[in-house]
């Protein structure tokens, strides 16, 4: 039974599939203290949050079974992603479900800002009738500058076009072609800042976007510009915004998000030009239902080891590709494990080569699995989420390459290992109907099933060598299930690859290595 802990308010309708699942126990506890949260997380298999719960490194360390953190929404800045990745926990979000609601909210803020609607309301309910004080501006023919033309930025642009605004956008990934299709003018950051009557930000909060709009940016803007932030607090420098409003540079600002939430009695709220909402962008019935449905589905897929799509700390893999790669997963993991057990010395570099039909596919997920197989030999808690992170942390270089040459096989996976003592390479394939096979070890062609207990013996091709190995194994009560011999030339270096029925002892390995014709013996368990 999987324990799914939900610590922020979520739509009940949206999580119906979790509540109905017979293999899931849902525990919903909001407004937990830090201590309560640390206790609750200990035996949770999945955690679902919105933007309120702070998923810190400390919280993640207390999670003993956690496999997945689900964010019912877009922004994951309340989750310590590196800490989750290092612990092998998948982080998924629900990026599409609240796009329309947030774009509509931003548009509502845009009109409210242009026409002083909140200020007018406040004054009339105070008993005033002051029509002159709240004269606004039209949106018609004004320039809206959008910083970040992603999902929300794009939906907002469409709505602004319908109000006959000129829309200008800066986004590092915006192509001329896409800009044309959406009906916006692609421009540089400086140009958008200098030419817009309204500027709205729709980027994530990252190192690059923190204080994207600062004092210098304000100084380059048109006098009387109006500013909106319905993305993340911190993209706009709040102190600089305060100064820019006071100096008259900025005519007004609409904020849904703040550098610290809740913002409390913020100095910006003392300025009549500022209108604000308490992070309501995604707060509609529809958006909340959508994100809860999306994240619940992803959580169930991950807990049940089924294909999933919205991982934040893994490249997203279309379900169709996952299905195609699935048959190669065991081969990939075993090749990773085999290669590291066969090599001697400290690992410095892993080179993974995909050939034949695999060269045509996106094989990054298989590389992660190979890496997991390799690193599992050294580290206890490694999975395909944490493997690349842990390799990098340890200075292990990982290279993936592709070639069309597959030497008569439909495809091959080669795993090359470089250590401080030398190099080793193993190649494997998936044989139709026969399962996984190792077909080459260094330069020696073989045909070995990568499973169970194996002995890899490097020896000199001399008469009697095979017999003597058999005798020693027999003397130690170890039965040989299969044996393969590979050599490059008569009398030269050769290898024996044996499947044995049980794990072999150190004494047995020493007896084998004591034979004159034996160069090295390695026991491999897969």
Q: Which residues bind ligand NAD (CB under 6 A)?
A: 74-75, 95, 98-99, 102, 147-153, 170-173, 202-205, 208-209, 230-232, 256-257, 279, 281-282
From the candidates 3, 71, 232, 418, give the one annotated as an active-site residue: 232
Catalytic annotation present for 357: no
Count how many Cα atoms sit within 13 Å of the Cα of residue 73 in the half-sphere of its side chain: 27
Q: One symbol per residue from 85 to 124: x for binding ligand 3PG (CB under 6 A), - otherwise; what is it?
A: -------------x--------------------------
Query: How far is Cα 115 from Cα 1, in angstroms, rounded to an integer?
Result: 54
**Structure letter (DSSP) for residue 55:** B
Minimum gap (Å) between residue 236 Cβ and ligand 3PG: 15
Query: How far is Cα 41 from Cα 59, in angstroms, rounded to an integer?
Result: 7
Query: How far is Cα 203 from Cα 353, in angstroms, rounded to an integer?
Result: 37
Query: How far is Cα 225 from Cα 249, in angstroms, rounded to an integer?
Result: 7
Minimum gap (Å) between residue 232 Cβ and ligand 3PG: 7
DSSP assignment of 189-218: HHHHHHH-SEEEE-S---TTTTTSB-HHHH
Residue in 3, 50, 142, 418 binding ligand 3PG, rule: CB under 6 A: 50
Three-state SS string over 406-435 comes to CCCCCEEEEEEEEECCEEEEEEEEEECCCE
Catalytic annotation present for 344: no
Instruction: Considering the complex, state which of residue 148 and residue 486 has its C-beta at the smaller distance from ligand NAD.
Output: 148
Catalytic annotation present for 517: no
Instruction: Considering the complex, state which of residue 20 and residue 177 has its C-beta at the smaller distance from ligand NAD.
Output: 177
Minimum gap (Å) between residue 100 Cβ and ligand NAD: 10
CA proximity to 100, closest of 283, 351, 359: 283
471 Cβ contact partners less than 8 Å away, ≥ 6 residues apart: none
- Name the strands in the sheet holding 493-500, side by side, starting at the edge strand that comes first in the sequence: 480-487, 493-500, 453-460, 518-525
Choose the binding region for ligand 3PG from 35-43, 67-75, 179-187, 472-480 (rule: CB under 6 A): 67-75
Q: How far is CA 440 from CA 187, 253, 496, in A?
A: 54, 67, 12
Instruction: Considering the complex, state which of residue 51 and residue 436 has its C-beta at the smaller distance from ligand NAD.
Output: 51
**What, of ligand 3PG, ligand NAD, none, does residue 173 touch, CB below 5 to 8 Å by kind?**
ligand NAD
Instruction: Considering the complex, state which of residue 283 and residue 341 has its C-beta at the smaller distance from ligand NAD.
Output: 283
Q: One symbol per residue from 175 to 214: x for binding ligand 3PG (CB under 6 A), - otherwise; what is it?
A: ----------------------------------------
509 Cβ contact partners less than 8 Å away, ≥ 6 residues apart: 521, 523
Minimum gap (Å) between residue 32 Cβ and ligand 3PG: 16
Choose the binding region for ligand 3PG from 68-76, 425-433, 438-446, 515-523 (rule: CB under 6 A): 68-76
Residues forming beta bridges with residue 485, ordered by sequence position: 496
Residue in 73, 145, 234, 486 binding ligand 3PG, rule: CB under 6 A: 73
Instruction: Considering the complex, state which of residue 284 and residue 341 has its C-beta at the smaller distance from ligand 3PG.
Output: 284
| Backbone Cα Rg of the chain | 31
Q: Catalytic residue positions?
A: 232, 261, 279
């Amino acid at each position: 039974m999987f324990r799914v802990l939900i610590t922020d308010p979520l739509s009940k309708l949206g999580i119906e599939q979790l509540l109905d699942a017979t293999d899931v126990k849902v525990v919903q506890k909001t407004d937990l203290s830090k201590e309560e949260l640390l206790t609750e997380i200990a035996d949770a298999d999945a955690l679902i949050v919105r933007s309120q719960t702070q998923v810190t490194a400390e919280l993640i360390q207390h999670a003993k079974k956690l496999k997945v953190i689900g964010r019912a929404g877009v922004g994951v800045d309340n989750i310590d992603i590196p800490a989750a990745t290092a612990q092998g926990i998948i982080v998924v979000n629900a990026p599409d479900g609240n796009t329309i609601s947030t774009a509509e909210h931003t548009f509502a803020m845009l009109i409210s800002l242009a026409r002083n609607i909140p200020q007018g309301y406040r004054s009339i309910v105070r008993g005033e009738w002051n029509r002159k004080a709240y004269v606004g501006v039209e949106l018609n023919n004004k320039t809206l500058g959008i910083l970040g033309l992603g999902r929300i930025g794009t939906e907002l642009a469409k709505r602004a076009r319908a109000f006959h605004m000129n829309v200008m956008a800066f986004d590092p990934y915006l192509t001329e072609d896409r800009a044309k299709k959406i009906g916006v003018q692609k421009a540089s950051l400086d140009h958008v800042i200098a030419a817009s009557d309204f500027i709205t930000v729709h980027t994530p909060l990252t190192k690059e976007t923190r204080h994207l709009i600062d004092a210098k940016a304000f100084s380059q803007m048109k006098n009387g510009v109006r500013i909106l932030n319905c993305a993340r607090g911190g993209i706009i420098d709040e102190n600089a915004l305060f100064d820019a409003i006071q100096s008259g540079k900025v005519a007004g600002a609409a904020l849904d998000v703040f550098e610290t939430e809740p913002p409390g009695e913020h100095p910006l709220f003392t300025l009549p030009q500022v209108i604000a909402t308490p992070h309501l962008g995604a707060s509609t019935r529809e958006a909340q239902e959508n994100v809860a449905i999306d994240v619940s589905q992803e959580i169930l897929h991950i807990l049940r080891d089924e294909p999933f799509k919205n991982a934040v700390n893994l490249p997203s893999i279309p379900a169709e590709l996952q299905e195609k790669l699935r048959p190669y997963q065991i081969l990939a993991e075993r090749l990773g494990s085999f290669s590291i057990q066969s090599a001697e010395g400290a690992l410095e570099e892993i080179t993974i080569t995909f050939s034949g039909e695999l060269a045509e596919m996106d094989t990054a997920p298989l590389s992660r699995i190979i890496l997991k197989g390799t690193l599992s030999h050294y580290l206890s808690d490694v999975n395909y989420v944490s493997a690349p992170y842990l390799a990098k942390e340890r200075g292990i270089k990982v290279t993936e390459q592709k070639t069309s040459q597959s030497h008569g096989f439909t495809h091959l996976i080669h795993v090359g290992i470089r250590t401080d003592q030398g190099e080793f390479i193993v190649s494997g394939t998936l044989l139709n109907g026969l399962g996984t096979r190792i077909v080459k070890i260094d330069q020696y062609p073989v045909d070995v099933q990568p499973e169970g207990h194996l002995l890899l013996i490097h020896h000199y091709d001399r008469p009697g060598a095979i017999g003597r190995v058999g005798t020693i194994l027999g003397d130690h009560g170890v039965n040989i299930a299969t044996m393969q011999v590979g050599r490059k030339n008569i009398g030269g270096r050769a290898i024996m690859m044996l499947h044995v029925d049980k794990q072999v002892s150190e004494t047995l390995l020493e007896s084998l290595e004591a034979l004159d014709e034996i160069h090295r013996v390695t026991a491999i368990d897969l």
